[in-house]
Amino acid sequence: MILVTGATGNVGREVLRALVRAGAPARALLRTEGEDVAGVEQVTGDLNEPASLEAALTGVRAVFLLPGYRDMPGLAAEMTRAGVEHVVLLSSLAAMATDTDNAVSEYMIRSETAVRESGLAWTFLRPSAFMSNTLRWTAQLRAGDIVRDAFGDVPTASIDPYDIAAVAVRALLAPGHEGRIHLLSGPHPLLPADRVRVLGQVLGRDLRFEGLSDEDARAQMSATMPAAYVEAFFGFYRDGTIDEATVRPGVHEITGRPPRTFAQWAAGQADAFR
């Protein structure tokens, strides 16, 4: 049995679908009962409360784990106690950032360290930014044809969550991934304006991107995230402490096919922007 955390999220949902396609036994961890995800068995638990996972972990061989919860060593200890053999941790390229005081890097590194020191077999996935982050433009695109966002001059080889899931499922089901760190990205570095152009083609609309000044970007971001995370993203994209523009070979090497393009991701999500 494989337990998938973040089951209702962009990546976890794709991991469950891929496990079902592979015919592997899978269980979805949900915070609250309800939503059907990929038709698999559901169990409730809170990743911030390791003791709440006792039922979820019963009979589990491997876990797909999200990072950044309150007590990552406690979570790993709970998994060890339950007899889990292998953890595939969704981390980030931020774990390699040069500034380890950065709040996002800190929680990725803290999560990797807890799993590494637990004695469990592990695989770390370090993806670039997700294509699904573009969903934050839905309100602007429903309201009009202009997208305004931060860091308009920063190219990112963002990745489709589908591809992160494809790699995760290889790591969960096939031998040889223990103790390995997979660096993952999409196939092309794109500027936000490039992504808006592709979305326009997919939606059949004449869309335009306008970059926010750093001052306006800081104000917009501060409305939706804690100050430490705003500083973290300015550290990544203004101080250049992360490299998300480089195309990484991981998806191709592990799945045997190239990573999906932004146009493929956008075509699958078109309804969300209408």
**Which residues of the shown chain bind ligand NAP in the complex (CB under 6 A)?**
5-12, 31, 46-48, 66-68, 90, 92, 127, 129-130, 132-133
Cβ of residue 153: shortest distance to ligand NAP, in angstroms?
18
User: Nearer Cβ to ligand NAP, position 6 or 192?
Assistant: 6
Contact in structure between 157 and 190 (CB atoms under 8 Å): yes
Q: How far is the CB of 51 from ligand NAP (least distance, A)?
A: 13
Residue closer to ligand NAP (CB basis): 3 or 129: 129
Nearest C-alpha neighbor of 75 from the set 115, 122, 105, 44:
115
Q: Closest distance between ligand NAP and the C-beta of residue 33, in Å?
A: 11
Minimal distance, residue 206 CB to ligand NAP, in Å? 28
Distances (CA, A) of 17 to 151, 155, 242: 33, 30, 31
Min dist CB 228 to ligand NAP, Å, is 14
Nearer to ligand NAP, 130 or 209 (CB): 130
Query: CB-wise, 46 or 99, nearer to ligand NAP?
Result: 46
Could you give the C-alpha distances from 62 to 38, 118, 204, 216, 256, in angstroms and in order? 18, 14, 43, 44, 23
Quote the least distance from Cβ 155 to ligand NAP, whole Å. 15
List of residues 6+ apart from 211 with CB closer than 8 A: 148, 149, 150, 151, 152, 153, 192, 193
Choice between 5 and 118, CB closer to ligand NAP? 5
Minimum CB separation from ligand NAP for residue 101, in Å? Answer: 18
Give the E-state strand segments of the chain in sequence order: 2-4, 26-30, 41-44, 62-65, 86-90, 121-127, 146-149, 180-184, 208-211
Burial-class residue 220 by CB neighbours within 10 Å (0-12, 13-18, 19+). middle
Name every residue whose Cβ is closer than 8 Å to that of residue 17 and which is 6 or more positions away in sequence: 38, 165
Q: Residue 23 to residues 82, 93, 210, 271: CA-CA distances in angstroms?
A: 23, 30, 45, 29
**By the 8 A CB rule, do 159 and 189 touch?**
no
> What token pair was written down for 83?
């007899």
* Angstrom distance (rounded) from CA 193 to CA 161: 21
User: CB-wise, 28 or 196, nearer to ligand NAP?
Assistant: 28
Residue nearest to ligand NAP (CB): 9
Nearer to ligand NAP, 46 or 194 (CB): 46
Residue 24 CB, nearest approach to ligand NAP (Å): 19
Q: Who's near 74: CB < 8 A, 6+ residues apart?
A: 50
6 vs 186, beta carbon nearer ligand NAP: 6
